[in-house]
Structure 1
Amino acid sequence: MLSLLISAWFGEKFIKYLRRKQITETQRDASIDPFGTKKVGVPSMGGIIIIVATLVPILLLGRMRNIYLILMIITTVWLGFLGGLDDYIKIFKHDKEGLQGKFKIVGQVGLGLIVGIVLYLSPDAVIRENVAIEKQQTQELVVKHRSEATKSLKTTIPFVKGHNLDYSNIMSVFGKYKEAAGWILFVVMTIVVVTAVSNGANLNDGMDGMCAGTSAIIGVALGIFAYVSSHIEYAAYLNIMYIPGSQELVVFICAFVGALIGFLWYNAYPAQIFMGDTGSLTIGGIIAVCAIIIHKELMLPILCGIFFVESLSVMLQVWYYKLGKRRGVKQRIFRRAPIHDTFRTQDSQLLPDCKYLIKGPKNVVHESKITIRFWIVTIILAAMTIITLKIR
């Protein structure tokens, strides 16, 4: 609640400041966005509102010695700076390309490397494994947790018996070195997840309220996972790993979701402010690192299905375009990419000499309806992800 109030109060004042300083959207391309001409002049870098509204309550109320909370703060500041640098180049240097992609990747990989290594080295980053014990009289399986906390390479994987995957088992080919190889695989996976999810959120940020609303829904689901993982009785009932200290993640996620809702007050259609890369990269990184800490990173393809589809649509579009270019043919799969742009692209905006594999939709959908439909899909995906706690 505190973060929501900060976001709403600070947001109004920050928007006025940005307008006064003319820190506004100037590079909107109306040929891509049929409503783009209405968005030129809207303040950008609104991700600062989300960052401030998230960090202030955490710095006031959080247990700053908690390793998980420290990692979340580092993630927020790190990617906030990276995204802010990108927005600065776009707005003040009048370069719509912003920070070069290779530098973004270096920043994301660097953060993933830090998170992975810290989780490996920190003595506080431990779990208590769940063990099924059969009662002799009733033959009922009761889940208990080991008394000792241990470092673990296990992660939750949905729809599989046992519900866990051990990275070291994947690396069993290395024999007695499989544990070390497993940790290397874990660090690599951390880098991949941080990079993929932060870029997915960045691509999803293309319509008023789209990324903020979608991410708030994802945040609620992650908050539920963090809460049950931090409670030994709930973790035993759901047969998942108990993660001591992860209760601080619940505090952080609550602040994060509150900040997003407060920001959405101004970012919903018609937007009074855009979050920019300052917000979208930070949001994706927070989601990724939180999932990694609570050993739920392999559930992100379901939970963040919208991000995954957005990223996949761009990769397929680029691949198909380059394939045609080698043959001297202009071709694309979708009208536009990311996929949300396809639904608002008019026939008059299509290239006359380009072949489109998928020509639909015939009718343009207004962005507010596209946004709400993406929210609905995310709610369904979040519900499916939570249900996996009991489906084995």
Structure 2
Amino acid sequence: MIFLINKYLNFKIFTFISFRILFSLLTSFFINLFIGPYIISCFKKLQKFQIIRTDGPIGHLNKNNTPTMGGVFIIISICLSTLLYCNLNNTYIWYVLAIILGYGLIGLLDDYKKIKFNNSTGLKILYKFFWLSIIAILIIYLIYSKKENSASIELIIPFYTSIPLKINYFYIFLSYFVIVGTSNGVNLTDGLDGLAIMPIILISFGFGLIAFFSSDINLCNYINVSYSEQSNELSVLCGAIIGSGLGFLWFNTYPAQIFMGDVGSLSLGGALGIISLLLHQELLLLIMGGVFVFETLSVILQILYFKIRKKRIFKMAPIHHHYEIKGLSEPLITIRFWIISFILLLIGMLSLRIHNGI
């Protein structure tokens, strides 16, 4: 949209990427501030409340009257801001939007079933994974069908070398696990007020910086970033995610007025996954998204250990519930996880230059 305005008004400043990143962030932030109270009020009237697990921490039982599906206004603000400020001729933008909308729809159906049947089950796990997989596979196919040499795919290894690793068609399988895995990792982490949204904001900031510099081939070689003419436009979209995340946190910080629900967690996790693929920074996502990895592993370990030994490693999984049951307050756990996420972001950014001695 901004390019169409520039075509008639000839205000070149509108097309500067730094301008578009800033206004994309601010626009999505203020959209959430504006529509957030209306959506919260609407969901309360429709009684779209969070379904609380009866076997969870006792303190969560008082959240039964908190609306869910707040991811709806996250998606709205990201999409509107992206359509306003991004170059819509850029295919990378449409890949990310497709994941956000597709995964958002699956999450919406999941949330709807939980509310309708008044349980925390939602969609059947196999059914949900099937549709998450279908969307991921379609997007991956579109991405790699357009590459001139899809048999040689680059994988940048943090802390190691400026020469990317060629992993051939295995990269397609890796791409699938990155998108679906990150989506579910965010979903598992979203269990406390404000817990998941801050790591999303921080990771988006890191990817936004990488995308901003990725169209400069000299700078890419210097900081171990994959060069692409299209990828710098992702920095504008990352700005939209950051702004939307901050706007949502306005209402989601403790005590939360609304939860993002699966519609928000699945779509935002999928967005981070696809952005990492387009930037060739899948392993960097593993570092910066360490909180999501930690939460996911806690669930996997809990299930495996219980099946083998009939005992539990943690008092409850995901692990943030373990700390709750041990007596730590919800805000304390959340803030500490935010601090860890910030440290992981710094480590991830450092890894881009460590191989050259800086």
TM-score (norm 1): 0.81
Q: Give the equivalent residue in structure 2 for 1:272.
A: 257
Residue aligning to 2:155: 155
What amino acid is aligned across from residue 266 of structure 2 in structure 1? Answer: L
Letter in 2 for 1:21: L
**Contact 2:187–2:262 (Cα < 8 Å) also in 1:** yes
Q: Which residue of 1 aligns with 2:56?
A: 32
Q: 1:214, CA displacement in angstroms? A: 1.6
Instruction: Say which SS state the counterpart of residue 214 (structure 2) adopts.
Output: helix
Choose from 26, 34, 56 the match for 1:9: 34
Matches of residues 41-190 of structure 1 in structure 2 within 5 Å? 41-122=65-146, 153-167=153-167, 182-183=168-169, 185-190=170-175
Kindly provide the amino acid, as one letter, of the partner of residue 189 in structure 1.
Answer: L
CA distance in 2, matches of 1:186, 1:159: 20
In 1, the alpha carbon distance for the partners of 2:53 and 2:119 equals 13
Matched, 1:319 2:319: no
Alignment of 1:209-358 (within 5 A): 209-325=194-310, 331-346=311-326
User: In 2 relative to 1, CA 296–239 (structure 1 residues): closer, same or farther, beyond 3 Å?
Assistant: closer
2-side partners of 1:317 and 1:372: how far apart?
24
Distance between the aligned counterparts of 1:240 and 1:97, measured in 2?
41
Residue 164 (structure 1) shift: 1.7
1:305 and 1:239 map into 2 onto residues whose CA distance is 20
Deviation at 1:186, TM superposition (A): 1.7
Contact 1:153 1:166 in 2 (8 A): yes
Please report how far the alpha carbon of residue 120 of structure 1 lies from its aligned counterpart in structure 2 after TM superposition.
1.2
Residue 389 of structure 1 corresponds to 352
Q: Percent of aligned positions with the same letter in both sequences?
A: 34
User: Which secondary structure does the structure 1 equivalent of 2:165 belong to?
Assistant: strand
Please say if residues 231 and 279 of structure 2, whose CA atoms lie closer than 8 Å, have aligned partners that are also in contact: yes
Structure 1 residues 239 and 283, CA gap change in structure 2 (3 angstroms): closer
What amino acid is the match of 1:342?
A: H
Distance 2:107 2:343 in 1: 29
Mapped partners of 1:201, 1:4: distance in 2: 21
CA distance in 2, matches of 1:187, 1:41: 43
Deviation at 1:28, TM superposition (A): 1.1
Q: Deviation per CA, 1:15-68: give whole Å up to 9, x if none.
A: 01111111112x313541221122111000000011001001111222222110
Asked if structure 2 preserves the Cα contact closer than 8 Å seen for 1:112 and 1:187, the reply is no
Contact 2:31-2:77 at 8 Å conserved across structures: yes
Whether 2:341 is the aligned partner of 1:378: answer: yes
Shift of 1:236: 3.6
Mean CA deviation greater in 188-197 or 238-247 = 238-247
- Is 1:43–1:272's contact at 8 Å kept on the other side of the alignment? yes
Select the structure that is richer in helix.
2
> How far 1:389 sits from its partner (Å)?
1.1
Q: Is the 8 A contact 2:287 2:348 kept in 1?
A: yes
Structure 1, 272-281 or 108-117: larger mean CA deviation: 108-117
Deviations along 1:168-217, whole A, 9 cap, x unmatched? xxxxxxxxxxxxxx23x222111111111111000000000001112111
What is the aligned-residue RMSD (CA, Å)? 1.7
- Secondary structure in structure 1 of the residue aligned to 2:314: coil
| Shift >3 Å, 4+ stretches | none
Q: 1:38–1:295: structure 2 CA closer, same or farther, 3 Å change rule? A: same
Structure 2 residue ranges without an equivalent (≥5): 1-25
Residue in 1 aligned with 2:19? Answer: none
SS at match of 1:28: coil
Contact 1:116 1:186 in 2 (8 A): no
Task: Give the superposition deviation at 1:239.
Answer: 4.2
> Which amino acid in the other structure matches residue 269 of structure 2?
G
User: Larger Cα Rg: Structure 1 or Structure 2?
Assistant: 1
CA shift, 1:151, in A, is: 8.7
